[in-house]
Each structure stands twice: as C-alpha cells, then as structure tokens.
Amino acid sequence: MREDEDVTLQPRASSVGCSYFGVRVVRHVRRDMADLAARGYTGVLHTFSENDLAYYRETFGEIVAASHEAGLTVQVSPWGLGRTFGGEAESRWVAFHPEECQVLDDGRRVAAACLNSPAYRAFCAGWAGAAIDAGVDYIFWDEPAWVVPRHVGVDDASRWTCRCAHCRERFGADIPRELTPEVRVFREASVLGFLREAVADVVERGGKNTICLLPSTEGAQGISDWDAVAALPGLSVFATDPYWKHWGEPAGAFVNRFARLLSETCGRHGVGAQLWVPSFGLTQGEIPDLEDAIRGARDAGIEDLWTWGYEACGHMSALATPDAPRVWAAVTEALTGAAPLEARTTRSLVGLVNAADDTVADAVAAAGDSLAEAIDAIVERLGRGGRLVYLGAGTSGRIAEVDASECSPTFGTPPGQVIAIAVDEFDAEDDAELGRRLVREAGVGRDDAVVAISASGSTPFTVAGFDEARGRGALGVAVVCAPRSALEAAADHAVVADVGPEIVSGSTRMKAGTAQKMIVNAISTVSMIRLGRTYAGLMVGVVQHNAKLRERARRNVVLASGAPEDAVDAALAASGGDARVALVALLAGVDAEDARRRLEGAGGSVGHALGSAR
C-alpha cells in the first residue's frame, strides 16, 4: 500500500461538506478549516452576507484562501441577501431600497427585495461577482423563494407576494389579489427567471453554480417543476435541504422522498445531486433520526452530502442545544465514514493531531477564572515564605518536574521555593502510601501551596499525597482534565480543563498533557510576576549559567534601566553579576550594597525595592 493512498474501510460519500459562519478572524477560520479537513470533510460552505460584502470583502478572500489551503472545496451562500435567500442575516439593501421591495396581496410593502426588480437582480450579480473574485468554487443559491411572511413580521401565513409594479409589468396586467393558478405559474416563472439570469451571469464570470431548493413542490414557496430548474444552462449542482423537523415529518421517509426526487431529476439533466441534513437544533435523542436521514439519502443514491453546520451550530444560541457536541460527533461519523487511524495517510494523521491540539487552548481558557483564583491563593502562601509544591505521577509528574526545574534559572527563585514531588515508575502511580510518605518527607506544611496534577484526577499516588498535604494544612490546588474527579472534590481550588477524548484513546500525554503544561506554565509564570520576579516584562532574575544567559541578563538591565551600556557593565560588575541588584542600583541611584539590602527587604522584588526607595 502506498503512503499517499486514501484508504477507508467503510463506505463514504464522495463529497462531504459543512456550512461555516459567524467567524471573521482568519486565524480562527484557518484552525477550523484544518479541523474540518482532519475530520474527513471535503467541502465547506461559507456565508457571505450583505454586511460581509460591505465590511469584510477582502477578509472573505482570505477566508476562502485558508479553506483552499486546507484542501476544501468552497461554496458560498448569499446569506439573507434581500431576504429572498436562506439565512438569519439582515438585509441592508432593502433598507436602502424600500421602493424595490415585495408587495403583499393586501397591498402592504414588506422588507424583502422583489425577485423581478432589475435593481435587485443587478445587486445580486454584483454580490456574486465579489464572491467569485474571492476565489470560491461554487455560488450556492440558497433557498431562493418569495418571502415567507413570518420572516418579515407578518403573522398571517395565507399572505403572499408579489404585486409590485415590476411584477405587474412582467405579468402584463394588474395581478389579481387571489392566488389564482395563473398567478401561481407567474410566481414560479419569476423565480426561475431570476435564477436563469443569476446562473448565466456567474458562468459568464467564470464561476460555477449550485441551486438549493426548499423540499417542497407546492405551496407559496414551493417549486413544482424541478426539471425546469435542473435544465437551467450553466447549472452544475442541484441541491435540496429536507430538514424534517421544520416540516413536521419523519426523518428517514421524508429525506428519502426528496432524495429520490433530486437524484432522478439530476440524472435526467446530467447535473450533480447534493443533499443537506441539519445538525443544528437536534438533541441527543434525535441522533437516530439524523442517522436515518443520512441512510435515506444514501439509499436514494446521493453521494454528495452536507450538513448545516459546523459543530452543530453550538456557537449560535438560537440554533444550539446542550447536546450540540454529541450531535456534531454523530453527524461527522455518519457522513464521513472516517477510516480507522491505522488506515489513514501520515499527512492525514498529522492534520488530525494538529486539529485536536487546537482545542486544548479553548479548554484551558474556559478554566481561566478558577486558574486565576488558584494563582492568587498560591501567591499569598509564597508571599509569607511558603513553597509551591507540585505533586504528580507519570506524565503529570514529569510535567511537574520540568516546570519546577525552570523556575530558579528563569526567575531567580530561592532554592527550594518551587519543588516537585513526582514518581516516574508506572507501578508507583498506584502506590498511595508512597504519595503520603514523600509529602511527609518534604515537610509540607500550612504555608505551602500544593498543586496536584492528574489527567483523570484519580491517580492513587497523587490523590493520597494530596490528602496528606491537605491534612497538614497546605493549600490544595487540583489540575485535572476530567470533571467530577476525586482531586477536584478534595481541592480548595480546582482547575478543570475538559479536553475531551484523545486521538489515541487513553493516551493522556497528548491533549491532557498539553493542557497540564499550559496550566502549570501559567501558575508559575503568573505567580512569579505577582511576586515581583519580573520587571517591565523582563526576566531580570535570570540565573546566568552560560554566555547566552549572561548576555540576556545584561540586555535586560539595559532595556529596563535605559542606562548607557558602560554604566550597566559597571553596575553588573559591582553587584557580582546579579542583574536585579544592578537594576535597583541604577534606577534608585544607590550603590550595590544598598541595592542588595533593599531587594532583601522587598523579598527579591525589583518593583517593591524601587517602591521602597521612593
């Protein structure tokens, strides 16, 4: 088997896509596009609203480029454009052009552009041109239809449009106030004429088109003749979105019915067939319906399957449910039929690991409040002469040892102020008595802050050692990656970074280990800043073990003091190379002996020593 072969062990759609909206920070988009690709998606649909057109046009081009860099095909939707397409975005155009808006059968004008308005058609052409300039692969004409009355604040569902002057001109007479068969034909022909013009314009600009119709062949918004749409010159893909909950229908049968209509229609006209299923607004109990819907589509021969939307729209409160993460996992598995790890290419695996790691920072950020509270409590203990004591086993213990070993050379902490009680042997992780004994031997007491690190929060060595430390009056801080653990329950402060399942099940050296390292980095670094072990954001306490560190210390004194380099060299020589002493001497205008005395009185804090000098 070649390394570059794309091997899967389960059937999967030839194209699998997802909608994505609401994010305009390109670095975040880039991360999410990598995540989509790593999960097995091959396409993304970006929304491009009127607001985007006005304020994010160049940014949108960067978003499209980022999507292509991730290997995704890009569709773009006119989200809420003129209120004639799907989407929650509002329309600027209708506010600026009320005279071009639709007129209800009762004569009221409503906030939705008329599909027969030449000005609105020109605006849509300009929008499509901007999207094509941004580099998209397909213009996705999303649910084109006459306005749904409730979408513009009209509660009477029997109302219909449009009876404006543009429609009257195309109709060739006054339009009846009743929805006669002749009017129904005219309304459908108007939608078709709008699409014919829009599709042709895109093709002329070198683009490709997808048209997505509502799953309806009757009623005020339905299109009865799907063949007429599929036959439009320049159409590449014909789609529908049978969101069964919206129509009050059973998932499998409803989706299968429209999937068959779509498949047969596209087969007659030689265009691609694409079907969308919802992942928003679903609960865990509705996941079987979602799976039935996908099976129904595949049974009808649809191989191009998409879902709305990314992470089951968990980021949008109006569309989210508490079960959005579970729904997202389910729809992804059902759509992509992703291969086992062992059958994937090396590049695919690298992308999968990268995408998983990207979620760690969010998990740590979510614990930011509890982390800050824990650090403040740790600083209080250190400020009264106590120690920062890390406690852990295995990967967690090694993380503890690394951070403890870096504090003295980085911040100039006194020997023994930051220590690690850790074991590396696998069998030692289960030795609860060893944990207790090592805590006792370290003399842990009430002035100390003990930070217990464990991914599961249940490691016997760590739990027992933590219990011993808490019994001796020490402050207890738990750093864990599993909610509701034994360590969390026993702690004064618990920092819980819920990173979710690992790529390789149970391998807590991965996301959990990364989260733990990020948290202890924050604990030691922020604690040292609060204790005054930095000055002006510089490592003024760095221990000068080699030429590189000696030059770094010298450069920090130059930057922090603003003194000439010869004066800095003289101050460092007088202080015996202690950068903090040299800095206090220079900034307070005292000799090295006085500077050292002031530092000692300030607990080693340059800032406090300078404050006392004033």
Active site residues: 406, 429
Integer Rg of the chain from CA: 32
Q: Mind spelling out the 3-state secondary structure of 124-155? A: HHHHHHHHHHCCCCEEEEECCCCCCHHHHCCC
Pairwise CA distance, residues 139 & 332, whole Å: 24
Question: How many other C-beta atoms lie within 10 A of the C-beta of residue 252?
Answer: 19
Pairwise CA distance, residues 226 & 599, whole Å: 82
The DSSP annotation for 24-58 comes to: --HHHHHHHHHHHHHTT--EEEEE--HHHHHH-HH
Mapped onto helix, strand or coil, the DSSP state of residue 476 is strand
| Cβ 234 vs Cβ 202: under 8 Å | yes
- The amino acid sitting at 242 is P
Pair of tokens at residue 368: 């930011």
| Cβ 14 vs Cβ 303: under 8 Å | yes
Which residue do the tokens 């003990």 mark? Answer: 450
Question: How many other C-beta atoms lie within 10 A of the C-beta of residue 603?
Answer: 15
What residues does 238 pair with on adjacent strands? 211, 273
Pair of tokens at residue 91: 């329309």
Sign of the four-CA dihedral 526, 531, 537, 543: negative
Which residue do the tokens 């016997």 mark? Answer: 460
Q: What is the largest CA-CA distance in the chain?
A: 101
137-176 burial, b at 16+ Cβ within 10 Å, e below that, comes to bbbbbbbbbbbbbeebebeeeebbbbbbebbeeebeeebe
The DSSP annotation for 483-549 comes to: SS-HHHHH-SEEEE------SSTT-TTTHHHHHHHHHHHHHHHHHHHHTT--BTTB-TT----SHHH
